[in-house]
Amino acid sequence: MPWQSITFELAEGPAQALSEALLEAGAVSVAIEDAQAGTTQEVAQYAEPEWDAPVAWRLNRLEVLFDHDADADWILHAAARAVGIDVPPSLRQAQVADADWVRRCEAQFAPLAIGDRLWIVPSWHAAPADPASVVLRLDPGLAFGTGSHPTTRLVLRWLAQTLADDGATGQRVLDYGCGSGILAIAAGKLGAAQIDAVDTDPQAIIATRDNAQRNDVALRALLPNELPESAYDIVVANILANPLIALAPLLAARTRRGGRLALSGLLANQAAEVMATYAACFDVRIAAREDGWMLVEGLRR
């Protein structure tokens, strides 16, 4: 049975916000491309209305998939209202057969190199031939995290470097706000000894467990109230500014003294406030940046 699709273009910042709202309102999936370059980008997990900030957003093309009997127009307008933007004036509506949608999605996602040796590889692609490569198998889906968004890439590169510099043997890692589990699974692939992954969304817990099993990585995927009292050597969180500020006491308590913290999902104009919040317990600095997004690193005192 054919799906309904709606395609339109929007600046990158509001596109990310609207994409998350569309999924929450009932869309089946959202595919995002750079409208100029044609390269796929991923939807940020938390969407905040920051597109009035001085960031040079690219133009994105969104293709939104709906069930054949869904009220696509109502879902689109409800999502736009939820994030406080206008529905784009130019919409292209169509019906898409199952096979066409699958082929289109598969064509958009290719193996993605993260640093020197980590690769994110969809199931329909062959793994790199280099035996030294660390391969994480992950298919694009509704849970956030396929590695194609800058906020995810920033943490993946940081994890790869940190586990290489510190030595992964014996390292205990916490991924708070795990989505698809990509960061937790990458930590396991890179040699971490024990990995816990936490999310408030039960579907993210299911996705993380499934993806970990597919990658032969042992981890615990838990709701926040299920996480035992413990401190970790490495804590990562990719969930944008406001949640990170609210979580500062919790993440500080979960990081052992001398342990390391990575916070991602921050725009340039948000980093200072987040750093000030965490400075009470951490020595903090901006460790990396990409396309207007920042990664803040902390060393627990």
**How high is the pLDDT of residue 57?**
61
In-domain check, residue 134: no
Q: Find the mean pLDDT for residues 242-260.
A: 96
Model confidence at 168, pLDDT cuts 50, 70, 90, reads low
**How high is the pLDDT of residue 100?**
54
Shared domain for 104 and 225, answered yes or no, is no
What range does the domain containing 13 cover? 3-108
| The domain boundary residue, chosen from 41, 75, 108 | 108
As for how many domains the chain has, the answer is 2
Pair of tokens at residue 144: 């956030």
Shared domain for 97 and 159, answered yes or no, is no
In-domain check, residue 174: yes
| The domain boundary residue, chosen from 76, 108, 140 | 108
Answer yes or no: is pLDDT of 120 > 60.
yes
The single residue listed with the structure tokens 């280099």 is 130
Q: Which residues of 7-27 are buried (b: 16+ CB within 10 A; e: fewer)?
A: bbebbbbbbbbbbbbbbebbb
CATH number of the domain encompassing residue 229: 3.40.50.150
**How high is the pLDDT of residue 188?**
95
Shared domain for 178 and 103, answered yes or no, is no
Answer yes or no: is pLDDT of 299 > 50.
yes
Largest CA distance in the chain: 58
Shared domain for 104 and 153, answered yes or no, is no
Shared domain for 176 and 83, answered yes or no, is no
Model confidence at 33, pLDDT cuts 50, 70, 90, reads confident
Measured distance CA(63)–CA(193) in Å, rounded: 40
Model confidence at 39, pLDDT cuts 50, 70, 90, reads very low
Q: Find the mean pLDDT for residues 79-87.
A: 87
Give 129-143 pLDDT, tens digit per residue: 777 788 888 865 544
Model confidence at 147, pLDDT cuts 50, 70, 90, reads low
Q: Find the mean pLDDT for residues 189-214.
A: 92
Shared domain for 227 and 161, answered yes or no, is yes
Shared domain for 57 and 157, answered yes or no, is no
